[in-house]
Structure 1
Amino acid sequence: MKTIGYQEVREKLLAGEEIAIVDLREEHIFAQNHPLFASNISLSRLEIEIYNRIPRLDTPIVIYDDGDGRVERAYTKLREYCYSNIAVLDGGVAAWQRDGGELFIDVNSASKAFGEFVEHHKGTPSLSAEELKAKIDAQENIVILDARRFDEYQTMSIPTGMSVPGAELVLRAPSLIKDENTQIIVNCAGRTRSIIGTQSLINANLPHEIFALRNGTIGWTLAGQPLEHGQQRSFSDLDTQIDEQVKQNAAQLAKRAGVKQINFIDLQNLQAQQDKTTYIFDVRTEQEYEAGHLPASRWVAGGQLVQETDHYAAVRGARIVLVDDQLVRAYMTGSWLAQMNWNVYVLADDFAQVLVETGGWKPATPQIDVDLFISPDELQQLSTTQNIVIWDFTTAANYKKGHIPHAQWVLKADVSKLIQQPAFTSLDAIVVTCGSSLLAQYAVPEIKTQLKSGQKVYILKGGNAAWAQAGLPLSQELELLSEEIDRYKRPYEGTDISKKAMQAYLDWEFGLVNQLKNDGTHGFFVI
C-alpha cells in the first residue's frame, strides 16, 4: 500500500487539488481527533457511503485508522470497488499532529469552524437568552425562526419559535414577519446554524433588525429557561410569496462570492469531464425533491449542506452544483459554500423540462452477489426449528427503539472477529438484517469465509422495516455484541445532556477561530 505524509496532503489542500481524507473509524472515535477536512466513512458503513461521497473512482483518497487493521481491510475493499488512487496516511493522526497538523474534535468541524469565522469577521449581531426571554414576555413585535431540521425543532424549541430550516430562511422570512418593524431572531441548538442563518438574512438585505440567539437552545438551557417540546409550527403551513427584490439580492450575493450560474447543457459538459468530481445537490425541501428532481442529484436541505458539508462532499477541491427551482435557496447555499472555498455552480434553466425524476434519493452501492433471502414469516418459522442467531447492523439508536426478538446488535467492522468465536461453530444459520438489509447484505461475504459445512447465512428481505410491516413483534431487550461507538452524541441534541457538557461544547466552539489559524489550509473568506 502506498503511503502519504502530512506535508504532501497539506500541499494538495493548499493547491486546491482534489483529495478525499477518509477516517475509517466509528463516528464516536472520529469525533475525538481528526484533521479539519477529514470525512468519516467508517469501515462499518463503507459500502453504502463510498460511491456517493467519493463518486469518481480515480480520486486521490487518503485513508487512516488507529492501527487496528481497518486500513488493510478498507484498502482491499476499495480496490475491489474499482478505486485506483489510494494512499495510507503515514502514521495516522498521531503523525499528523507530530508533523505540525492541527487536530479537531467533534463532527462537521470545518462547517462549525466556518460559522465561528463568519461571526468573528462579520460581527453577527446576537441576543442573550435573557434578552430574548424579556422580549417574549413583553410580547414585542418579534418572530423567532428555528434554523435546524424539523425533527430537531420538535425535540426542543424556544417558546413561540417556528421551524424554518437554514436555506429556507431568506426565501420564507418576508412572508413570516408581521410588519416592517418586526425583529427577526434566528436560533439553532448551539451556534453555527443561528450565525449562518442570521448572517444570511443580513447579507440578503432584509430591511429588519435581525439577531442570532446567542448559543441557541444550549444558551437558553444554561440560563435556566424552559424549552417547548413537540411543537409543530412550520413555514410549510403558511403561504410563501416570493420577494423579487430579495431574490435579486441573493443572486447578487452569490455572484460576489464567486458562484457561477449554468444551464443544463453546461451541467452535462461538467459531468462529462472525467478528471473532476461534480456533486449535484438539490437544496429544496424533501417533498419538492420527491415530486420532481434532476436525475443524478441528491437531496439535502441547503442549511444542512452548509452545516454538514463533509458528510455529503468528501472530496475537497471538487465542484458543487446546486438545484432549486426558486433559485433563492441555491443562491444562498452557494454563497456560503463558495466562501468555504468550494467551486460552486447554480443551475438555472427551464426546470419543468429537467426536474423529471420522481421519488426519493437512492444511494449508489457496489454490486454484490448474494442469493439466500428469507422473508419475515420464514424467519419466524426458522427461529423455532433451527439453532440460529440474528445479527442486526442498524444503528445502535434504532436497535434500541425496537428490534426483532433475540436479534443481536453488531457493527459490521466487528464481523471478522465475532464470527470466529466458538459460540458460532454449532449454529445452523446466521440471519443478517438492518433497516432495509441494504447494509446487512455486505456482511455476508465476510461471514461466509468462516462458515462450517452445512451452515448458512440468510438476509432478511426488506430488513427490520419488512418485519414491522408484517405486524410481527418487536423487542427492546438489548444484546450488544459491539461497543456503542457508531455515533457520537452531540452535546447540543436531545434533552438529557449535562450543563457541563453543554458549556464545554460552547468553549470549544469559541476556540475554533484560533484553530483555523493554526491549521492554515481552510481558504475561508467572507464577503
Structure 2
Amino acid sequence: MNLPLTPSSEVRAALLARREIAFLDVREEEPFAHGHPLFAANLPLSRIELDAWARIPRRDTAIVVYDDGEGLAEPAARMLVALGYSHVSLLAGGLQGWREAGGELFIDVNVPSKSFGELVEHERHTPSLGAPEVQQLLQSGADVVVLDARRFDEYQTMNIPGGISVPGAELVLRARSLAPDPATRIVVNCAGRTRSIIGTQSLVNAGIPNPVAALRNGTIGWLLAGQTLEHGANRRAGAVDEPVREEAAARARSVATRAGVRHASAEDLARFAGEAGRTTYRFDVRTPEEYAAGHLPGFRNAPGGQLVQETDHSAPVRGARIVLVDDDGVRANMSASWLAQMGWETWVVANPPAFGERGAAPTPIPDALPTAAVSPQQLAAWLREGDTAVLDFAASARYVAGHIPGAWFVLRSQLARALEAIPAASRYVLTCGTGALARYVAPEVAALRPDADVRVLEGGNPAWIAAGLPLDIGERHLASPRIDRYRRPYEGTEVRREAMQAYLDWEYGLVAQLGRDGTHGFRVIGEA
C-alpha cells in the first residue's frame, strides 16, 4: 500500500483553521530538538506502540508523519496504520519539503509553550528582577519570598537559596498562604524564562495584591551572574485554609472566564465522550500524590504547570478539546486560562463528583507478537557460558545509570546499524525498562538475525534488579548514539556558560520567529 502525501500547505491550512491534526516528527528527541515546525509533536518511531494510543486517542485523527531523510517516516506511518489509524500520510518532501515551502523551523523542545511565554512577556510587560537585585533583597533581609515554579525534582537539583517549591499551577492557590502580608514581595523563578513568566503573570492576572516579579532568566541568570545555587532543598508549601482557597478560586475562575474557558457539566462530559469525530483530552492537574489517592475515571494526571509547559507532549493533536479537573477550583481554572490563550478549546469540570478511582491510570498499548522469554537467573547462566548478546532498549540515561553487565545500549530506530556494531551471537536477549518495548522489537531483531535464538527478558531490567543480580554503570557498550533525549541547556549542575547564554538568546528571539511562522493563533488577555 502506498502511503498518501500531504503537502506543507495543507498542514499549514489545518493549523490556521484549527482543524484537528497530529503533525508527528518520528525522529529521536535530540534531532527533533535541532529543528522542527512549531506544532510538530515528537513521537519517536522507537516508542510508537507504547505512546500512540494514549497520546492520539482517536483512531481517525488526521496524522501527518515526517523525518529529515533518515528513512524513519514510512515505517513509522505503517506502524500507525497497523495500530488502527485510518488517516495517516507522509509530509511531502519531509522536513526539507517544509523548509522549501518557506516553513519556519524552531529548535529546542516544548516550543509552543516557550514561544507563548515570550509573547506574554512581550505584550503584558511581565515584571521581572535581575539576579543581582534578588540576591541583594535576600541578603538584606527584605520582606521577600522566592517561589520556584518548576517540578519538585527540578527544584531539588538546584534552587535559589531559600526558595520554596510551588509548581506553576499551585501558585495562585498557595501564594497568599506563603505571603499573607500584601507588602511581601513575591519572586517567581524557574530554570530559564517560561515558567517564571507564566507563573508571575498568573499571580498578576489573578489580582494577587503583593508586588510580584519573575526572576529574570531563572537559575540560568543566577549562575551567569556568578551567584551560588542551593542543592537538595525540600521546602514545599503547606495546606491552604478554606477562606484562602475560596478567595483563590474566585480569582482563578474570573481569569478563566476572561480567557474564554468554559465549564463542563456532567451532561457536557457525557456528550464529549459520545463524539466520535472529536478528540477530547482529559487531565487532572493536581499533584501526582493527590491523583494516586483518588481521581475521576478517564482523566490522566498532568500537573497544571507542566501541562502548560509541555502541551506538545501532553496533547499532540492540535485543534483537540482539553478538559481539566481539580478539587479546589483554582489549579484547573488557572491552567485552563493559559491553554485557552494558546488557542485550545478548553473546559473545566464544574462541581466534579467524588474522585473514586485509585492508583495510576492504565496506559493503553497493543498486544505484542508472542516471543519466547527468559528468566533473569537463566540469562545470568547464559552470560557465564558466552555467545549471548543482551540488547538494552531502555532510555539511555537509565542504561548509563545501571544495566546488565555486558549489555549493549540500542535504539530501535538505529537497530540495523547497531546490530552490525555488536559482535554476532547465537542468542540475543532483549530487555528494557519494563519489558514491554523489548517485545515489540523482538520480531525486528529476529528478521535481521534469522539464524539466532531471540528472547526477551521476562520483566525487563526491574526483574534483573529484583533478583539481586549485578549491574554495570557507564557508557562502555553503546551500539547506538545517545540521541533519545535532548539535554536541555538548563539541566543539571554543570552547564557551560556559553550554552546557557545561547539558550537565553534563543528565547529572546521567539516572538519574532512566531511572527514569521504565522500559525500560532495565540492571544494574550489583558487586565481585568
TM-score by length of 1: 0.96
**Does residue 1:72 correspond to 2:58, yes or no?**
no
Q: Determine if contact 1:259/1:334 at 8 Å carries over to the other structure.
A: yes
Residues 251 and 461 (structure 1), Cα distance of their counterparts in 2 relative to 1, 3 Å cut: same
Q: Determine if contact 1:325/1:351 at 8 Å carries over to the other structure.
A: no
Percent of paired sites with the same residue = 52
Residues 451 and 347 (structure 1), Cα distance of their counterparts in 2 relative to 1, 3 Å cut: same
* Aligned position for 2:7: 5
Query: In 1, distance between residues paired with 2:217 and 2:315?
Result: 27
Q: Determine if contact 2:74/2:90 at 8 Å carries over to the other structure.
A: no
| 1:369-410: CA deviation from partner (whole Å, max 9, x where unpaired) | 224222222221222235211111111111111111111100
Query: In 2, distance between residues paired with 1:366 and 1:175?
Result: 46
Q: Which amino acid aligns with 1:62?
A: V
Query: In 2, distance between residues paired with 1:295 and 1:404?
Result: 38
Query: In 1, distance between residues paired with 2:108 and 2:416?
Result: 28
**Does residue 1:297 correspond to 2:295, yes or no?**
no
| 1:278-326: CA deviation from partner (whole Å, max 9, x where unpaired) | 1111110001111111222211111001101001111000000111111
Q: Determine if contact 2:23/2:39 at 8 Å carries over to the other structure.
A: yes
How much does 1:431 deviate? 1.0
**Does residue 1:216 correspond to 2:218, yes or no?**
yes
* Aligned position for 1:279: 281
Q: Determine if contact 2:389/2:407 at 8 Å carries over to the other structure.
A: yes
Q: Determine if contact 1:278/1:318 at 8 Å carries over to the other structure.
A: yes
**Does residue 1:472 correspond to 2:474, yes or no?**
no
Query: In 1, distance between residues paired with 2:433 and 2:85?
Result: 27
* Aligned position for 2:492: 494
Query: In 1, distance between residues paired with 2:379 and 2:329?
Result: 49
- Secondary structure at the aligned position of 1:288 is classed as helix
Query: In 1, distance between residues paired with 2:347 and 2:375?
Result: 45
Query: In 1, distance between residues paired with 2:270 and 2:378?
Result: 47
2:456 corresponds to which of 456, 459, 463: 459
How much does 1:160 deviate? 0.3
RMSD between aligned residues: 1.4
- Secondary structure at the aligned position of 1:69 is classed as coil
Q: Which amino acid aligns with 1:218?
A: I
* Aligned position for 2:367: 367
Query: In 1, distance between residues paired with 2:304 and 2:165?
Result: 14
**Does residue 1:145 correspond to 2:147, yes or no?**
yes
Count, aligned residues: 520
Query: In 1, distance between residues paired with 2:430 and 2:298?
Result: 30
- Secondary structure at the aligned position of 1:432 is classed as strand
Residues 178 and 137 (structure 1), Cα distance of their counterparts in 2 relative to 1, 3 Å cut: farther
- Secondary structure at the aligned position of 1:406 is classed as coil
| 1:457-498: CA deviation from partner (whole Å, max 9, x where unpaired) | 222222112222222211015200001111111011111111
How much does 1:50 deviate? 1.1
Q: Which amino acid aligns with 1:214?
A: R
2:98 corresponds to which of 93, 96, 99: 96
Long gaps (5+) in structure 1: none
How much does 1:148 deviate? 0.4
Query: In 2, distance between residues paired with 1:461 and 1:299?
Result: 28
Query: In 2, distance between residues paired with 1:262 and 1:100?
Result: 40
Query: In 1, distance between residues paired with 2:443 and 2:356?
Result: 37
2:183 corresponds to which of 181, 184, 196: 181
* Aligned position for 1:525: 523
| 1:418-456: CA deviation from partner (whole Å, max 9, x where unpaired) | 4467943xx232111111112222111211223334x32
* Aligned position for 1:333: 335
Q: Determine if contact 1:23/1:41 at 8 Å carries over to the other structure.
A: yes
Query: In 2, distance between residues paired with 1:275 and 1:90?
Result: 25
- Secondary structure at the aligned position of 2:186 is classed as strand
**Does residue 1:399 correspond to 2:396, yes or no?**
no
| 1:101-120: CA deviation from partner (whole Å, max 9, x where unpaired) | 11101101110000000000
Query: In 2, distance between residues paired with 1:337 and 1:316?
Result: 12
* Aligned position for 2:437: 439
Long gaps (5+) in structure 2: none
TM-score by length of 2: 0.96
| 1:110-139: CA deviation from partner (whole Å, max 9, x where unpaired) | 100000000001110000001000000011
Residues 375 and 181 (structure 1), Cα distance of their counterparts in 2 relative to 1, 3 Å cut: same
Query: In 2, distance between residues paired with 1:510 and 1:323?
Result: 33
Q: Which amino acid aligns with 2:317?
A: V
